[in-house]
Structures are given as structure tokens and as C-alpha cells.
Amino acid sequence: MTDRYAVIGNPIEQSKSPLIHTAFAQVTGQDIEYTKLLAPLGGFAMVVDAFRTSGGRGMNVTAPFKLDAFAYATDLAPSAQMAGAVNAMKFEGGKVYAENFDGVGLVRDLLHNLACPLKGRRVLILGAGGATRGALLPLLAEAPAELVIVNRTVVKAETLATLAQKHQMASVPVQGLGYAALQGQAFDVVLNATSSSLTAELPPLPVSVFAPGCLAYDLTYGKGLTPFLKLASESGVTRLADGVGMLAEQAAEAFAWWRGVRPDTTSVIQQLTIPLR
């Protein structure tokens, strides 16, 4: 019997999840059907209820419903609790299990696909929203020398830094700063987790942040050479990446959670990659 899964969002037509999970099912021999669900704003619970009643087994959750999914879940994994948001759900009887695999997907992309170890390195992450919050614990688990969160509203960065210090198992120094405080500082890995690339804007970032040999990584995918990546390139950075690997890796984590087998992501990443130029 074919098991049913879906991705829910608004808008939803742009989602690559059906392509990704259908490819995963083919290479792992899993019998699933994966579709897109457009939910009206304010109608998340109604659409999910109907999907569950019809036999749906699980869902990916995209904007703007990650907070709705957090409220809907009956059992929140630590990753979802830390992120304050949910991007994957699994339905078993009356239980709704919820995870957030974004941070794990990011770190796996950095370590395994890009061969960029984080241990002992200075890491800078731009933005203090949900993407950063979800990435903090997986990043810190890799024992960087330091993690700096920068945000236009400094208090948001400071709040996240305090939260990270409270929850992490290791003792990695974490700072929350404003952009002006970055002058003269250099980092080995610079991650853009702001929404600036969606609006073709450039974060107010001093070029000094890009250390020699730095990796500049934009969590947005499919936008080509974003203003952030262009700044990095013009500053001499040769290692540039967008979030397509993160997209594939978080999807693989969800697939493994649902089906008990983790698919290889190589072909999916190759298929979805857009040259950064």
C-alpha cells in the first residue's frame, strides 16, 4: 500500500520537495506518494486534519506555517523546541511528532558535501530569526572556536546568544553583536541566514569579515550569485555556496525519520544546483 506524504505552505508551487522525495523513494525502493498542499492563511490545522483523516503519514512544513506546526504538534523534539518552529511532522494514531531538521541539514552540507569542518574555526551567522535559531545547536555541537550572531537589532542577537549558551552541551563562546562591531574581525565561515537574498538586498557587512580561505554560504538557494555572495566574491572569497545542499540534506533527514532509510543526496543536489555567477 502506498504511503502518503506532502509539503504544506502558502505559496507552495515553488517547492522542490515533491521532486526531492520522489527521487529519494526511487533510489531507496520506498512506495510513497508525495504531493503539495496549499493551505489558506489561518487554515493550517483544517488542511492537516483532512490530510491525516485521509491516511496521510507525514508532512514537511514550509513558510508561513512553521509556527502553526509548532502549535499543532503533540510531541516536539528538542530540535523543534530550540528552533521554536517545525519543518517536519509524523502522524501516528493521535500523536503528531514534530522535528526541525534545518540545522542538521546545514551542518551535514557543510561537513560532508563541502568538506568544511567547523571544529576550532570562527563562525559568523547573519540574522537572528528562525533559521539562525534552528541552526545554533547543530553548529555548536561541532565545537567551533567561537560563534558570533550578528543582527541589525542587536538585542535579538544578544538574546539568541544567551539562549545558545544556556542550551549547548559544550562551552563554545557565543556572542550577539550589531554589524558595526564586526569591523576588523575575520571569520573562517560566514553564513547568511537573513532574508536579504530573497529581496536582493545586501546586509551591512564589512568585507573584513572574510578571512583568507573563508567559506561564504547563503542559506537561500536557487538565486545564483546573491548580493551577499557577490560581496564575498569581490572581497576575494573563492569558496561560495548556497543552500541547495542544506535543502537536500534536511529532506533526507525527514525521509529517514519517516521511512527508516537515509537516501544519498548527491544526484538531487546536482539536479537542483544553479551555477553561482
Contact 225, 276 (CB under 8 A): yes
Q: Residue 198: pLDDT band by 50, 70, 90 thresholds?
A: low
Active-site entry in 66, 90, 166, 223: 66
What are the residue ranges spanned by the domains of the chain?
Answer: 3-100+245-272, 103-242
Other residues' Cβ atoms within 10 Å of the Cβ of residue 42? 8
CA–CA distance, 224 with 180 (Å, rounded to integer): 27
**Helix and strand counts by DSSP (H, E) for the chain:** 10, 12
Mean pLDDT of 24-47: 97
**CA–CA distance, 122 with 209 (Å, rounded to integer):** 10
CATH of region 103-242: 3.40.50.720
- Report the share of the chain in percent with pLDDT over 70: 97
* pLDDT tier, 199 (very low <50, low <70, confident <90, very high otherwise): low
Residues 129, 151: Cα–Cα separation, whole Å: 9
**Whose grid coordinates read 567559506?**
215
Mean per-residue pLDDT over the chain, rounded: 94
Q: Does the 3-100+245-272 domain belong in CATH 3.40.50.10860? A: yes
The pLDDT tens digits of the residues spanning 109-129 come to: 999 999 999 999 999 999 998
Q: pLDDT value at position 129?
A: 87
Q: Residue 229: pLDDT above 80? A: yes
Name the pLDDT band for 170 (thresholds 50, 70, 90). Answer: low
Instruction: For residue 66, report the phi and psi dihedrals to the nearest 5 degrees.
Output: -65, -30
- Is 103-242 in the same CATH topology as 3-100+245-272? yes
Grid cell digits, residue 152: 541589525
Element containing residue 210 per DSSP (H, E): strand 210-218
Lowest mean per-residue pLDDT among 32-36, 44-48, 79-83, 96-100: 79-83
Q: 90 pLDDT exceeds 80?
A: yes
Banded pLDDT at 5 (limits 50, 70, 90) = very high
Of the pLDDT bands very low, low, confident and very high (cuts 50, 70, 90), residue 201 is: confident
| Residue 83: predicted pLDDT | 87
User: pTM higher than 0.95 for the full model?
Assistant: no
pLDDT at 169: 61
* Annotation says 230 is catalytic: no
Q: Are 7 and 32 in contact (CB under 8 A)?
A: no
Nearest-angstrom CA–CA distance, 177 and 154: 6
Query: DSSP secondary-structure letter at 222?
Result: S
The grid coordinates listed for 179 are 554589524
Residue that the C-alpha cell 504531493 belongs to: 35
Confirm if 209 and 236 have CB atoms less than 8 A apart. no
